[in-house]
Chain A
Amino acid sequence: MADLRTEFVGIKSPNPFWLASAPPTDKAYNVVRAYKEGWGGVVWKTLGEDGPPVVNVSGPRYGAMHAGDRRLVGLNNIELITDRPLEINLQEIKQVKRDWPDRALVVSLMVPCVEESWKAILKRVEETEADGVELNFGCPHGMSERGMGSAVGQVPEYIEMVARWCKTHTRMPVIVKLTPNITDIRYPARAAKAGGADAVSLINTVSSIIGVDIDTFAPLPTIDGKGSHGGYCGPAVKPIALNMTAEIARDRETRGLPISGIGGVTTWRDAVEFMALGAGTVQVCTAAMTYGFRIVKDMIEGLSQYMDERGFRSVEEIVGRAVPNVTDWQYLNLNYVAKAKIDQDLCIECGRCHIACEDTSHQAITSMKDGKRHFEVIDEECVGCNLCVSVCPVEDCITMVPQTAGVDPRTGLANDRPYANWTTHPNNPMARPAAEVVAEPAE
C-alpha cells in the first residue's frame, strides 16, 4: 500500500480524495458516513450569512445527461447553497472535526461582497477549528443573481478584493474556488493569487440547460412549466476542468499556486490525470452522488496500486508531472508521423472505422479485400488523425503507430525528419528563421 498522505496548503489528509462542497457534504450525517468509507477530506456544503437560510425549489433540482446503458455522464443542478441554519452547520462542523481529527475539513463560504460579512463569518468558522475555508465564487445559478457566486468569480477585481479581506481576517488557509464560466481561467486565478489566496480549486459547475422537454417545450428540470439554467458537472466536464487546471499550472504568474482539482473525477485514473496536471488534491461530487461514498475504496486502492507499480513514494511525486508536456499548438512537432494500424485478430469487423474515415475523414480504411469484408488502413491516405481509434468499439484494436523510419507514402517525406514546428514552417506567413527556433520558449 503506497503512502497516499497529502498536505495541501498545510491541511493534512490521509489521501488526496476530498468530497467537493455539495449535497454529499451538507451535514454531519453525510460527512461522517463519507469519512467512514475512507474519504480523506471534505469541503462542507457552502455556508451563507447568518439569518434566515436560503430556500431551494421543492420540485426537481437535477437533470442528467446519459450515455449508453443510462450511464450518468453529466449532471445539472439548480440547487443553492446550504438551506440549513448557520448555527446548526457550525455546531456540526465543530463536532465532526473533533471526532475525525485526521481528516481534512474545509468550510465553503459565500456571503455578500461586503468586508464585514466576510469578517463575521470567518470568525464563526474559526471557532469550529475547521482546517480552512474555500470561497465559493463559482455557483452559476441562483446565488449569482444575488451578486454572489459566479457573479464574483467572473470579475477578477472582486476575487482579489474578497481574497484579500479573507486573508486579512483569518489565519486559516484560504482556497478560492473558481468558476469555469469565463473566457480565460488565468485571469481569475491570477486575481486569487494577487489577493493572497493560498490555493485555488476548480472547476465549479458549468452554466447549462441540460435538455428540453419536447412535449411541454420547457427546459429541464422543469418547475411548474418553467426552467432555469443550472450548473453542469460530472464526467462530461472533466476535459474542461483538466484544461483549466493545466492553464493555471503552466501560467507564468500562477505557476506553483496549489490547486485542488475538481470536475468529473470518477476513478483513480481521473485523479492521477488531475494531479499530473498540477492538482495537489482532487474533489469529487457527481461520482459520489451517482454511486455513493463507497467508490472511494476503488480510488484509494487504484491510486495505491498505480503508485506502487510506478515506484512513486508520495502523491507529491505525481503532482505536476505532465505540466511540462502541455504546450501550445504552434510548438507541436509537425514532422512527427503516426499511422493507424488495425489488429486483425482483435477486429470484429463492425466497419465503424471505415465509414468514419470514408465519410468524414481521409478515405484511408478499406471495407473489402479480395471480395471479402476486411478493414485495413491504407498508409498512402492515412493522416494519423485518430478518428478511427476513437470510434472503434474494441479496446486497443486500432493503435496509432509512430513512424520513425522510411518514407511516409502519403507525403513522400522521410519519417525521421528532425523536430520542426509551425513557427518556422514555410506555409506560415509569420514564420521566423529556423535558427531562432526552439521547441518552446524556455523559462
Chain B
Amino acid sequence: MSTISAPDIASGRLAPEDYRANFGDIHPPLDRHQALVESDRCYFCYDAPCVAACPTSIDIPLFIRQIRTENPKGAAETILSQNILGGMCARVCPTETLCEEACVREAAEGKPVKIGLLQRFATDVLMETGEQPFVRAPSTGRRVAVVGAGPAGLAAAHRLAMHGHDVVIYDARPKPGGLNEYGIAAYKAPDGFAGAEVDFILSIGGITVENGKALGRDIALSELRGAYDAVFLGMGLAGVNALGLDGEELPGAEDAVDYIGRLRQTDDLAALPVGRRIVVIGGGMTAVDVAVQSRRLGAEEVTIVYRRDRAAMGASAYEQELAATDGVVIRHNAQPLRLVTEGGRVTGVVFERTRSEAGALAATGETFTLPADMVFKAIGQKLVPAAFEEPGAALTLKGGKIAVDEERRTTLSGVWAGGDCAATGEDLTVAAVADGRIAAESIHRALSAA
C-alpha cells in the first residue's frame, strides 16, 4: 500500500522557453519547397480512397495537384468549398484514421501522402491574404437560427449565408468556436488560430453571433422556431459523464474538458497550476490530450488508466504513441473503484483490474492504488436535453443524442441538428463540419421550395 502524501499542485513548473516549445505547433507547417515535394507524391488517384475516407469529401487529388502547379489559393478554394473549417481540420483531424489511412501510398509504402499538412499549407496561404473566397448570393430574406458556434454551427452558418440567408448564431459561451476554442489541445492549433478562423468564416457577411446566449436558459426552442424560418442545433455535448464515485466533486478531482478549457483560455500557461502526479481516467482523445498537456505543463508522473484493453481505446494508435513519447504511462484493464480522499480533497484512486471476457468486462477483485495530486475525469461528454426539451415539442433521441435523418433533419419540423449533439458519425471536428454543411444544404432546399 502506497502512502498518500500532501498534494503537490503548483504553477510555473517550467522555464518560459519550455512553455513556448511545449505548446508550439506539434506539426510544424510545410514550407513551399516541402509542400511541392510532398504534393509530387500524390498519384491523382481515380475515385480516390482518401476522398471517400474524408467525412467532408474534399477533392484531395485535385487540391494536391493545385498545390503542385503552384496554385495554392485554388487548392484552398477546393478544400474550403467542401469544408469551410479546412484550416482547423488540417490541424486536428486524426488523419491516420481518415484520409491518410486510406491513401494508396500507405498501402504501397506505409508512407501516405501528408494530406493534412498539405491541406494546412494551402489554407494558410489563403488565410494569410485575408480574402474570403466565397460570395453571398443575393439576400433571400430568409432567417435561420443556429444554436452553437462550434464547427457544426459555423459550417452550417457559412453555407446558409453563401446561399443568401441571414443567420443568427446563439452560443452559451463568451467566445465562438466551440471546442476549437475551448477543447482542442493547445499545441494542435496555437497562435489563436481558432479565433482567426471564426473571423475568416464570418467575413462572408450575413452572420450575427450572439455569445452568452444559452438555449434553455436565455432562449427557448419554441421561440426560435417561431421567429426563424429554420433552426439548426449544433450545441455539442455540454454535459460530462460522472464516475459515480463518492468524492468526485471534491477538489483534486476535475473534469478534463474544463481543465483544457482553462488551459486554452489562459494568457499565461505558467500561471496554470498543475499537479506533480496526475491520474487520468478514460481512454479517448480527451484523456490523451489532458495527459499530454499536463506533462507539457511540467507534471512529473502522468498515468492514463483505461478500463478495457489497448485495442478498445478511443485514442488512435498514433495518439497513444504521442502520449508515450511525452512520457505518459498508459495502463489498461483497470477501472476506478474508489477515490482516496484526505482532508476534504481527492488524493488518489483505487483501481480494480479487469479482464475482457467474451466482449464483456469482468472485474478480477485485484486492486491497486495510484496516489495523485490531480485526478482528471475524461470518460466522455453527454448531451444536455434540458436545453431544448419543451412540453409538446420533443425531439426524438437516439443513443442519448438527437436523432436525425440523412439530411440532418430532426423529428421536429423546421429543426435540423448536427455535430456531436446529433446521432451521426464520430465525434470529430470534421464530422461536425460535414453535418453542418449537409444540414445547410437541406435547409436551403427546404427554404427554396417553400
Contacts and interface: CB of A to CB of B under 8 A. Distances in A.
Contacts of A70: 36
A273 to B, nearest CB: 27
Contact of A351 (B37, B47, B105): B47
Contacts of A349: 49, 104, 107
A367 B46 contact: yes
Contact of B104 (A69, A348, A367): A348
B108 interface: yes
A351 B40 contact: no
B44 interface: yes
Contacts of B108: 348, 393-394
A355 B105 contact: no
Interface residues of B, number: 14
Contacts of B48: 351
A68 B42 CA distance: 10
A355 B46 contact: yes
Interface string B34-70: 0011001001111111000000000000000000000
A352 B61 CA distance: 12
Interface string B96-137: 000000001101100000000000000000000000000000
Interface in B77-109: 104-105, 107-108
Contacts of A348: 104-105, 107-108
Contacts of B43: 350, 352, 393
Contact of B47 (A68, A69, A367, A394): A367
Interface in B19-45: 36-37, 40, 43-45
B105 A69 contact: no
Contacts of A373: 47, 49
Contact of A352 (B37, B40, B45, B107): B45
A354 B36 CA distance: 27
Most chain-A Cβ atoms within 10 A of its Cβ — which of B47, B49, B107? B47
A347 to B, nearest CB: 9
Interface residues of A, number: 14
Contacts of B36: 70
A21 B48 CA distance: 48
Interface in A344-380: 348-352, 354-355, 367, 373
Contacts of A367: 46-47
A54 B48 CA distance: 56
Nearest to A358: B46
A323 B305 CA distance: 73
B61 to A, nearest CB: 10
Contacts of A393: 43, 108
Contact of B46 (A68, A69, A350, A394): A350
A350 B45 contact: yes
Contacts of A352: 43-46
Nearest to B43: A350
B46 A351 contact: yes
Contacts of A351: 45-48
Nearest to B52: A373
B74 to A, nearest CB: 15
Interface in B239-275: none
A68 B47 CA distance: 22
B53 to A, nearest CB: 12
Contacts of B47: 351, 367, 373
Given A348-B104, A349-B104, A354 B37 contact: no
A357 B105 CA distance: 22
Contacts of B40: 68-69
B361 to A, nearest CB: 34
Interface in A307-352: 348-352
B313 to A, nearest CB: 29
Contacts of B46: 350-352, 354-355, 367
A348 B105 CA distance: 8
Nearest to A354: B46
Nearest to A392: B43
A157 to B, nearest CB: 48
A350 B37 contact: no
B107 to A, nearest CB: 5
Contacts of A69: 37, 40
A252 B48 CA distance: 53
A350 B106 CA distance: 11
A147 to B, nearest CB: 42
Contacts of B44: 352
B443 to A, nearest CB: 32
Nearest to A67: B40
A349 B49 CA distance: 9
Nearest to B68: A68
Contacts of B45: 350-352
A278 B40 CA distance: 37
A366 to B, nearest CB: 12
Contacts of A394: 108
B57 to A, nearest CB: 16
B69 to A, nearest CB: 12
A5 to B, nearest CB: 41
A394 B105 CA distance: 10
Interface string A378-409: 00000000000000011000000000000000
Contacts of A355: 46
A161 B49 CA distance: 65
A355 B36 CA distance: 25
Interface in B208-267: none
A393 B36 CA distance: 19
B47 to A, nearest CB: 6
Contacts of B37: 69
Given A69-B40, A350-B104, A352-B46, 14 more contacts: A70-B36, A348-B107, A348-B108, A350-B43, A350-B45, A350-B46, A351-B45, A351-B47, A351-B48, A354-B46, A373-B49, A393-B43, A393-B108, A394-B108
Interface of A: 68-70, 348-352, 354-355, 367, 373, 393-394
27 contacts: A68-B40, A69-B37, A70-B36, A348-B104, A348-B105, A348-B107, A349-B49, A349-B104, A349-B107, A350-B43, A350-B45, A350-B46, A350-B104, A351-B45, A351-B47, A351-B48, A352-B43, A352-B44, A352-B45, A354-B46, A367-B46, A367-B47, A373-B47, A373-B49, A393-B43, A393-B108, A394-B108
Closest 10 CB pairs of A and B: A351-B46, A355-B46, A348-B104, A348-B108, A350-B45, A348-B107, A350-B104, A350-B43, A68-B40, A351-B45
